[in-house]
């Protein structure tokens, strides 16, 4: 099938994500490093939080004419950033396709959306496995030719199951996890194993209506808009760094059932925008918030 | 000054707002009443909440050719609705221009917007007085030729001041109150004197960020949209029936100061939509929520 | 797989769509007809266009306790509406699942979205066939177990191919057609065979940027929002009655490629809302515009 | 009256707007220039259009500790940018408050909004005069203590009147013009006198519905959203570089009169966002489009 205008057609490139306390000349030294070795800059954006005088940048360059090997690139940057020992940075080569696991329960819409995007070439991502705490969505995974693993979770076995899941994810070399309407709360231990690498979709405009049954709460409160929020999972429920949000206008005419139906599209679009930003290495997390570059 | 396409140019009409437990034939008997006496229906909308089997309607008709006097219209409807003793209804003649008081503190934007709309003929409303707990906005009221009353409120004198304010509002025959960035919490006694007749603007997407300094909280939480909510004031802070809400997209780039600036436009537009719906008799409040007809 | 809160779980019902020049008592006679025979009204909305004094209504009732057969219901309504010979109306029983054909070219996103919704039970619709003027999306149809038919169209054979297509659609008893990024213009003859039963998605905010390459035009014009429009196809390109539109904010930073990527989500959501309204029998077309009930 | 969080409270600063064909090291040399002379950067954003390899930047720095005089700053930059003879740039000191003329006809809403913002201190701008081709809005200007000039324009006298207006604007040292629902088309000669310094508000989502009566056209076409567009005026009607747009959802229920009413708020908010971006020196115009920095 013909790939839509996607990542796969692009020349090999590398993306640097970096943040550190603001100091003079960082941008210049980074861009000069790229130019000196024959790189062509494809994207460069930066942001300074004036309140905390903190610098954030995303720099992506074409490797076609770049003279350094990947290892030398990393080493070169390490030298360059050495003068900023408090910098946090990572380097992502465009042909290192991230491996993602999707966790589901019974609701299919986000899963369908994710699998369609990954298989049509819209996203440069590999989905080796779908994990369900119910077996209901196995046929969806199967339809897309993807392994489905059923891990039934109960209060009693949760600890043991998470141990199994973590081992399984490691065996499948999973880099990040998407909770696509997964109706289980992960333990702190699980979350710590994937810091800022578990993306959840919550079906409300956080911090309004955290927790269970937000559409029922929205209807009861009589709000005039419903929302969805995707965020990185932290140890506190629905309190992790927000990646993306969107809303849709409702009136008194919409029943809870209508809200649930209308909310589905919000959920899948908001989750997919978040996953895309994650895959494209556009997100820096710092102090409980995200910087999401364009 | 030429009036823009506004209410003033319209023929005399009357609006009925009614809600009651659903029963057969209400709509038919109401519309037949109008037609029988020569009225021409300008607007008719209805809504049934299927969950609680409750009926809500708004019916507006032209009085040009209507054969009943205002008193007989009310009496006729009383007879008609008699079989529905649990109906709550009100009748509003278009030439009874509502009298509104605006309460302010120091922020001018909502006040300017309200006064511009009322004086340009966009709204069919009278604003006899602006009340401030600070004197700062007196020049704005004066510029529009409107009385300004300064009632300084402290913890100690609040009870006495509210007594004065209520007496003053009665003397000015005020029908409803708009809190246009009024930074004081009204007592239960005050609120009860104007049930569903005090409209507030809260500078957040309720129920997110109730209380003070919502833009600071929004920035701290890292939300990707900010909002504003206008609602009827009840005895619980920021928990009254929501009339209107809107949001605007923000990114990590917006400082608290930017949010405050961007929020101003949300606040004034959302408040004004709510006031307009109130003036045009488009709102029914029931069980803590609003039905806002188109 | 467990069906999400969808149509399939609902009791059998029937939907009446009707419009006619406004006259007194229509609503009352319709609702009385329903009640007299033991029907329970699930939805009733109406709209009067005051400019042309035209009446539009949608009435849906539960058939569980309804005493008339389907044929007698139709006959009863025919009698009832007899006094309004200029009324246009149709009756839709909820267990008559509409049969839809999807036309595609090479772009997969709308097709995936439609098939996911139809197969997960979100929509009460049957999709017997996907028709492509290119073979590219055959694997997608196959993945969902749906017949794919390849009709290559050229300038020379277009007339003959359309004849074949129409015969084929008839054999498959197709009730309506969805053009899911189908990059061919249908002839007037084809359109007339499915009046107001061909739904298209145009990747712009019509009437801005009709025709080819709207994202390129949007970028060239420097608009600050992009949009998508779904509409019924008529004989004039991109000029049919609009069913749904939505937009998304963009800045100078988005390249044409970004617009194309961001537009995909608009396209699929806008198209799917339109298809859903069509399937749920919420749309009346009149004088080149749509009334879309909630 | 207390000023809301506005520009007036800020320390003196200067803003550089610059664009030129992309070349290496521009950003570094600009920021080093600022730092070398003791400036503290308040804002720095840049954008490269990869398609045309063109560089755009906005740089604002605090002058509190800056060691150069204003003249030396300009001279220093001239030297610095000398190596880029094709650069287009301008320097704006924050205490040079721009002088703006507002052109109106009969519609008051945008004028009220502009005068409220300028007089409440929300905008750092001076409005020495309001010019009307009708006398209707003189009372509004007077209310705000601003000179009103009535220039009646007819087909016959247009050329002569524009000559007078241009002379008058020069006498009042007007830097830029805002057409706040001014229902006259300016001649090419007038437009050339204020290149990219005349801001118009058009009451539609351009390029949809250019020209007269866009709400009537929107209703006739049956669109599901209405919009407003503010743009710099060029010699071609409604075709100038777009600064800002926004939309609001409508349904079949809204009459033309409703669209006009709802559109007012869009018009004034969209126009004011554009004026604010202009005043804050956030806009670069290039090749018929705008770059609007955050």
Give pLDDT, residue B9. Answer: 64
User: Cα separation of A106 and B246, whole Å?
Assistant: 32
Q: Which of C19, C50, C225, C226 to substitute to test the interface with D, most D CBs within 10 Å?
A: C225
**Which chain A residue's Cα is nearest to C272?**
A265
Tokens 């149709």 belong to residue:
C90
Task: Quote the CA–CA distance of C175 and C94 in Å, as a whole number.
Answer: 15
* Alpha helix ranges (H) inside chain B: 26-36, 70-81, 109-119, 138-143, 158-171, 188-193, 214-221, 256-279
- Which DSSP category does A279 fall into? H
Phi, psi torsion values for A19, nearest 5 degrees? -145, 150
For residue D11, the surrounding DSSP H or E stretch is: none
pLDDT of residue D2: 37
Element (H, E) at A19: strand A13-21
Task: Tell me the shortest Cα–Cα distance from B269 to chain D, in angstroms.
Answer: 7
* pLDDT of C10: 77
Q: CB–CB of C203/C228 below 8 Å? A: yes
Which residues of B sit within 8 Å Cβ distance of A? 47, 49-51, 56, 205-209, 221-225, 227, 241-247, 251-253, 255-256, 288-292
- Residues of A known to be catalytic: 238
Phi-psi region of C248 (alpha: psi -120 to 50; beta: other; left: phi over 0): beta
Closest by Cα among B274, B268, B269 to B125: B274
- Cβ–Cβ pairs < 8 A, chains B and C: 29
Q: Kindly give, in sequence order, each residue whose CB lies less than 8 Å from that of residue B209, ignoring residues fewer than 6 positions away.
A: A207, B217, B218
**How far is CA A80 from its chain centroid?**
28
> How far is it, in rounded angstroms, from Cα C117 to Cα C180?
14
The count of other CB atoms within 10 Å of the CB of residue C275 is 28
DSSP string, chain C: -PPPS-GGGSPPEEEEEEEEE--TTHHHHHHHHHHHTT-EEEEEEEEEETTTTEEEEEEEEE-TT--S-HHHHHHHHHHHHTT-TT-EEEEEETTS--EEEEEESS--HHHHHHHHHHHTTSS--EEEEEEESSSTTHHHHHHTT-EEEE----TTTHHHHHHHHHHHHHHTT--EEEESS--SPPPHHHHHHSTT-EEEEESS-TTSS-SS-HHHHHHHHT-SEEEEEEEE--SSTT-SPEEEEEEEE--TT--HHHHHHHHHHHHHHHHHHHHHHHHTT-EEEETTEEEE--
- In angstroms, rounded to a whole number, what is the distance separating the alpha carbons of residues B119 and B125? 9
Is the bond into D207 cis (omega within 30 degrees of 0)? yes
Test D116 with B116 for CB contact under 8 angstroms. yes
Please state, in angstroms and rounded to a whole number, the distance separating the CA atoms of residues B66 and B73.
Answer: 9
Residue A67 has pLDDT above 50, yes or no: yes
Q: Over its length of 294 residues, how does chain C's per-residue pLDDT go in tens digits?
A: 333 334 556 789 999 999 999 887 788 889 889 989 999 888 889 999 988 999 999 999 999 999 999 999 999 999 988 767 899 999 999 999 999 999 999 999 999 999 999 999 999 999 999 999 999 999 999 999 999 999 999 999 999 999 999 999 999 999 999 999 999 999 999 999 999 999 999 999 999 999 999 999 999 999 999 999 999 999 998 999 999 999 999 999 999 999 999 999 999 999 999 999 999 999 999 999 999 998
Chain D interface residues (partner A, CB cutoff 8 A): 24-25, 27-28, 31-32, 35, 41-42, 44, 46, 48, 50, 249
Angle in degrees, CA C197, C201, C203, rounded to 5: 160
Chain C residues within 8 A of B42 when measuring between CB atoms: 50
Element containing residue A170 per DSSP (H, E): helix A158-171
Mutation target vs B (from C31, C55, C57, C291; most B CBs, 10 A cutoff): C31
Residue of D nearest to B123 (CA): D261
- Contacting D with CB below 8 Å, chain B residues are 1-2, 4-5, 106-109, 112-113, 116-117, 120, 122, 136-137, 139-140, 143-144, 251, 253-254, 257, 260-261, 264-265, 269, 272-273, 294
Catalytic residue status for D72: no
**How far D143 CA lies from chain B's nearest CA (Å)?**
6
Q: What's residue B256's pLDDT?
A: 96
DSSP D151: -
What pLDDT is attached to residue C9?
64
Interface test with B, best of C48, C62, C292 (most B CBs within 10 A): C48
Residue A41 to chain D, least CA–CA distance (Å): 9
Task: Fill in the DSSP letter of residue B175.
Answer: -
Binary contact (A294, C139; C-beta < 8 A): no
Q: Is the pLDDT of residue A227 over 70?
A: yes
Phi, psi dihedrals of residue B146, rounded to the nearest 5°: -115, 140
Query: Among residues D238, D246, D265, D294, which one is catalytic?
Result: D238
CA separation for the pair C232, C198 (Å, rounded): 6
Q: Which two tokens stand for residue A188?
A: 């702190």
Q: List active site positions of B.
A: 238
End-to-end distance of chain C based on CA atoms, in angstroms?
29
What residues in B contact A223, CB-CB < 8 Å? Answer: 206-207, 242, 245
Measured between CA atoms, how close is B238 to chain A, in angstroms? 11
Q: Which of C17, C56, C208 to mutate to test the interface with D (most CBs of D within 10 A)?
A: C208
Cα separation, A250 vs B292, whole angstroms = 11
Q: What is the pLDDT of residues D121-147, one digit of tens each?
A: 999 999 999 999 999 999 999 999 999
Residue among C70, C95, C238, C294 flagged as catalytic: C238
d(CA B96, CA B70): 12
Pick out chain D residues at pLDDT < 50. 1-6
Taken in order B126, A223, B201, C248, is the CA torsion positive or negative?
Answer: negative
| B interface with C, Cβ–Cβ below 8 Å | 24-25, 27-28, 31-32, 35, 41-42, 44, 46, 48, 50, 249
Q: What confidence category does residue A3 fall into, taking pLDDT thresholds of 50, 70 and 90? A: very low
Q: What is the pLDDT of residue A272?
A: 98
pLDDT tens figures, D255-292:
999 999 999 999 999 999 999 999 999 999 999 999 99
Which residues of chain D have a CB within 8 Å of the CB of B143? 143-144
Chain D contact set for C247 (CB, 8 A): 225, 247
Question: Among B24, B44, B50, whose Cβ lies nearest the Cβ of C35?
Answer: B24
Which residue matches tokens 């960035």?
Answer: B181
Q: What are the distances in angstroms from CA A85 to CA A70, A79, A82? A: 21, 10, 6
| CB-based burial, B223-249: b 16+ in 10 Å, e otherwise | bbbbbbbbbbbbeeebebbbbbbbbbe
Calpha distance A251→B290 (Å, rounded): 9
Q: Is the pTM of this model over 0.90?
A: yes
Give the H or E element holding residue A287.
none
Burial B152-171 (b: 16+ CB within 10 A, else e): ebeeeebeebbeebeeebee
Per-residue DSSP letters for B99-122? EEEEEESS--HHHHHHHHHHHTTS
Using alpha carbons, list the distances in angstroms from residue D241 to A98, B159, D48, D279, D283.
41, 57, 18, 16, 11
Note whether B5 contacts D137, CB cutoff 8 Å.
no
Q: Which residues of C touch D286 (CB under 8 A)?
A: none
List of chain B residues whose C-beta atoms are within 8 Å of the C-beta of residue C46: 44
A282 CB-near residues (< 8 Å, 6+ apart): A58, A292, A293, A294
* Chain B: closest CA distance from residue C38 (Å): 12
CA atoms within 13 A on the CB side of A288: 11
Mean of the pLDDT values across residues A177-199?
97
Q: Is D209 helix (H, G, I), strand (E, B) or coil?
A: coil
Q: Which residues on A lie below 8 Å from D249 (Cβ)? A: 249
- Provide the token pair at A111: 């899963």
Q: Which residue has the tokens 């979100």?
A: C122
Kindly indicate the confidence band of residue A276, based on its pLDDT and cuts at 50, 70 and 90.
Answer: very high
Q: What's the rounded Cα separation, in Å, for the pair C135 and C35?
A: 52
- H-helix segments, B60-106: 70-81
For residue B144, the tally of other CB atoms under 10 A from its CB is 19
The span from the CA of C133 to the CA of C155, in Å, is 12
Q: Which of D111, D203, D247, D261 to mutate to test the interface with B (most CBs of B within 10 A)?
A: D261
Q: D78 to chain B nearest CA, in Å? A: 30
Q: Least CB-CB distance to A1: which of C108, C117, C260?
A: C108
Inform me whether the pLDDT recorded for A261 exceeds 80.
Answer: yes
Chain A contact set for C4 (CB, 8 A): 107-109, 260, 264
Residues of chain B with pLDDT under 50: 1-6
Distance CA D103, CA D129 (A): 9
Identify the pLDDT of residue D9: 63
Structure tokens at C65: 């306790």
- D261 in Cβ contact with B294 (< 8 Å): no
- Grouping H, G, I as helix, E, B as strand and the rest as coil, residue A113 is helix
Residue C149: Cβ-neighbour burial (10 angstroms; 0-12, 13-18, 19+): middle
């Amino acid at each position: 099938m013909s790939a839509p205008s996607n990542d796969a057609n692009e020349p090999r490139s590398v993306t640097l994500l970096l943040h550190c306390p603001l100091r003079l000349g960082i941008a210049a030294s980074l861009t000069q490093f790229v130019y000196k070795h024959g790189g062509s800059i494809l994207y460069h954006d930066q942001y300074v939080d004036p309140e905390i005088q903190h610098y954030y940048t995303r720099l992506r360059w074409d490797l076609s004419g770049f003279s350094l090997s990947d290892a030398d690139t990393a080493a070169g940057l390490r030298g360059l950033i050495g003068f900023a020992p408090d910098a946090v940075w990572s380097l992502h080569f465009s042909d290192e396709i991230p491996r993602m696991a999707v966790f589901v329960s019974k609701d299919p819409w986000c899963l369908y959306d994710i699998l369609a995007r990954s298989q049509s070439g819209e996203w440069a991502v590999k989905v080796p496995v779908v994990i369900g705490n119910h077996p209901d969505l196995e046929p969806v995974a199967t339809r897309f030719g993807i392994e489905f693993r059923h891990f039934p979770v109960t209060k009693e076995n949760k600890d043991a199951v998470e141990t199994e899941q973590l081992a399984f994810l490691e065996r499948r070399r999973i880099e990040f996890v998407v909770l696509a309407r997964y109706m289980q709360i992960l333990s702190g231990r699980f979350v710590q194993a994937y810091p800022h690498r578990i993306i959840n979709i919550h079906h409300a405009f956080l911090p309004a209506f955290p927790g269970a049954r937000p559409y029922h709460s929205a209807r009861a409160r009589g709000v005039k808009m419903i929302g969805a929020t995707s965020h990185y999972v932290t140890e506190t429920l629905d309190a992790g760094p927000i990646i993306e949000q969107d809303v849709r206008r409702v009136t008194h005419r919409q029943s809870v059932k209508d809200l649930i139906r209308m909310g589905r599209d919000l959920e899948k679009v908001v989750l997919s925008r978040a996953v895309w930003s994650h895959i494209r290495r556009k997100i820096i997390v710092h102090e409980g918030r995200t910087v999401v570059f364009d």
